[in-house]
Amino acid sequence: MFKKDKSSLLFTIGAAILLISLGFIAYLIVISRGPAKDLPAGATVVPQDTMMAVSITTDESQWKRLREFGTPDSKASFERFLTQLRDRLLTANGYAYQQDIQPWASNTAMVAFLRNKIAIPVPPTSPNAPPPPPIQQSVAIIFPIANPIKAKELLAQPKPLNQGKMVERNYKGVQVTETQGIPDRNFSVAVLGTNYLAVTTDSTATDRIIDTYKGEPSLAKTPGYGDAIEQIKNPSAFSQIYVNIPVAAAFSAANSAREVSPENLEKLQQNQGFATTVMLDTEGMGFKSISWLKPDSQKRIAVENNAEKMVNRLPSNTIMMVSGGNLQRLWQDYVSGSDANPLAPVNPQVLRTALKSTTGMDLDKDFINWMAGEFSFSLIPAPAKNPKDKFAAGFVFMIETNNRRAADKSLKQLDDVMKTKGFRVEEIQADGKPAIKWTSAFGGIAVTRGWMNDVAFLTVGAPVLDSLVPAPKSPLFGSELFQKTVRSELKPHNGNFFIDTESAFNPKNLGLPEFPPSQKIWIDAMRSIGVTAAVVGDRTTRYDAFVQLKKSEQSTPSPKASAIPSSRSSSSPTPSSPSSATPVSPSPSPSP
């Protein structure tokens, strides 16, 4: 349970940090001067099979707002990170913002991650054969140009190199300037007419960008891309990110230790993309996201949005909850896609085998078969601290059944199995209604199960039954923290995720394993996380998320003034290219 909890949290944290990291190069390199376009800048020159494309605003007022968030430690770490990136991207290459970049840069930019070759995994020829080399990626940064003359002047007067050399070549009528002889730091630059300047990590990527500029299929022509971006656009967006799901999954499979067959990868070809827009407000960071299938896909999504009740069945002090509208359908969808997904966290067959070996029962026939209703998994704190209690919180599972008779039969069978395992199984009362309690031989584990109308509940750990039965007078839905965090406009919806990170990761409340300091800094900067999902069509799903962040009155130093735009900046992200992936030793934060 805790592993799943942390995985969901770290995924959200990682996404936020990735967006900030990718955007910093734009903060240093691009200045915003013009109105935003309907599609992100660069979408017309980035190849259609791009794995991921990211845009981030560098509007100085938004970055100022971002700097208000966090603890003193997280803010200092963030500034140190910005300084290191600035030194690596500009200073180390002899460039300064005002002199070299500001005179020509326009209002938007895009960073694209490109596969270098088809990422189809090839099984080893023998058990002892070494694994194939990892599939590499290239990075392309597309800068729209406001002043073409100044941009060409920059290329005409390259900075002297400490090693290697600058060479020029012509590709389809476009002049390309490249470095040679610099290990892990070669780059290629080309001006595309009077519209864009493209910087890539290798010459092949530059050629592909030029091919797209000359008429090859671009990101802007991706099926569903324009419509998806239209649904999640926001005029004050901080960032926008797009993931090409089939391409990214194939790349992940080729670089994963887990073997994924071509047949399973073919299943992912039904999907097209995932996109998200990031906004900042006074209390944190919001995400407005969408995923969609290809127009010709045979796969369909059931338009079902029934997750409305569980937040009223849980108490206001709930630490964590995950809810959904149909557990049976969720499980079936997960099973059908898990073999094709190299990032799937749990193998369904492992769960089936574990249940069968310990209880003799069939997960699908004996349980999932009657679980076609609304459900929730949650973590509720113990009602009061008691030195005798071994658990600081109780895990709660609730499911609305579609077949009460089948459910009672399976649960009674499970009671009998628990008796054979040495548990004491007894009937108790829960608000005047019968319930069943299992207690381990030495009293270390207690499990309680029962019914609230057609909703079955099961609790494990701390005695939290009184928090659920009768229905809480102060439900989670009405709590101030929940309302501030789960603030989606998606109604009706098909699921929620909520976590009170301050309570969940406070060692005084829960004895969770300690995170490494590098991760704990960012967790400590958050108050809560909320996610809402809704199916808006048989090919489209929408997601809204919000991360509530702490604020610190302590100011943090900024990178040196010579590297920071003095006026409004624009959008652009900075990926971790081969050169930027090299570890950089920490350096003190610069003075304001």
Q: Could you write out the three-class secondary structure of 73-117?
A: HHHHHHHHHHHHHHHHHCHHHCCCHHHHHCCCECCECEEEEEECC
Cα separation of 142 and 111, whole Å? 6
Q: CA nearest 501: which of 475, 487, 519, 478?
A: 519
Q: Tell me, what's the pLDDT at 44?
A: 93
Q: Tell me, what's the pLDDT at 325?
A: 94
List the end-to-end C-alpha distance of the chain, in Å, as a whole number: 44
Cα separation of 159 and 416, whole Å? 78
Opening angle at CA 284, ends 507 and 557, nearest 5 = 85
Q: CA nearest 316: which of 442, 133, 473?
A: 473
Q: Tell me, what's the pLDDT at 102?
A: 65
Extract the tokens encoding 432. 């005047």
| DSSP-assigned letters across all residues of 480-538 | HHHHHH------S-SEEEEEEHHHHT-TTT--PPPPPHHHHHHHTTEEEEEEEEEEEET
Q: Tell me whether residue 115 is exposed, middle or buried, using C-beta atoms within 10 angstroms of its C-beta: 0 to 12, 13 to 18, 19 or more.
A: buried
Q: Tell me whether residue 187 is exposed, middle or buried, using C-beta atoms within 10 angstroms of its C-beta: 0 to 12, 13 to 18, 19 or more.
A: buried
274: left (phi over 0), alpha (psi -120 to 50) or beta: beta
The most distant pair of C-alpha atoms in the chain lies apart, rounded to whole Å, by 84
Close Cβ partners of 181 (under 8 Å, ≥ 6 residues apart): 163, 164, 165
DSSP state of 199: E
Q: Tell me whether residue 416 is exposed, middle or buried, using C-beta atoms within 10 angstroms of its C-beta: 0 to 12, 13 to 18, 19 or more.
A: exposed
Cα separation of 382 and 361, whole Å? 31
Task: Using DSSP, state whether 309 is helix, strand or coil.
Answer: coil
Q: At what angle do helices 2-29 and 72-89 cross, to 10 degrees?
A: 50
Cα separation of 380 and 392, whole Å? 9
Q: Tell me, what's the pLDDT at 579?
A: 34
Output the tens digit of pLDDT for each of the chain's 592 residues: 333 344 444 444 444 444 444 444 444 433 333 333 468 888 999 999 999 999 877 677 887 888 888 888 888 888 887 777 666 656 666 666 567 766 776 666 788 999 765 444 444 444 555 554 445 678 888 888 888 888 777 767 777 777 778 888 999 999 998 888 777 677 888 889 888 888 888 899 999 999 999 999 999 999 899 999 999 999 888 889 999 988 887 777 676 656 666 666 677 778 899 999 999 999 999 999 999 998 888 888 989 898 989 999 999 999 999 999 999 999 998 887 776 665 677 888 999 999 999 999 999 999 999 999 999 999 999 887 665 667 888 999 999 999 999 999 999 999 999 999 999 999 999 988 999 999 988 777 899 999 998 999 999 988 999 999 998 999 999 999 999 999 888 999 999 999 999 888 887 777 677 778 888 888 889 999 999 999 999 999 999 999 999 987 665 554 443 333 333 333 333 333 333 333 333 333 333 2
Q: Tell me, what's the pLDDT at 107?
A: 64
Structural contact between residues 113 and 49, judged by C-beta atoms closer than 8 angstroms: no
Number of DSSP helices (H) and strands (E) in the chain, helices first: 16, 20
Q: How many CB atoms lie within 10 A of CB 155?
A: 16
Q: At what angle do helices 348-359 and 327-338 cross, to 10 degrees?
A: 120
Q: How many CA atoms lie within 13 A of 505 on its CB side?
A: 23
For 419-477, write each residue's pLDDT tens digit. Answer: 999 999 999 999 889 999 999 887 778 999 999 989 999 999 889 999 999 989 999 99
Q: Tell me, what's the pLDDT at 105?
A: 67
Residue with the two structure tokens 């936020």: 16
Cα separation of 227 and 318, whole Å? 37
Structural contact between residues 526 and 515, judged by C-beta atoms closer than 8 angstroms: no
Cα separation of 25 and 574, whole Å? 5
Preceding omega of 475 cis (within 30 degrees of 0)? no
Give me the torsion for CA of 279, 229, 340, 252, rounded to 10°.
-60
For 249-287, write each residue's pLDDT tens digit. Answer: 777 767 665 666 666 667 777 889 999 999 999 999 999
Q: Tell me, what's the pLDDT at 269?
A: 77
Q: Tell me, what's the pLDDT at 277?
A: 94
- For the chain, give the number of residues: 592
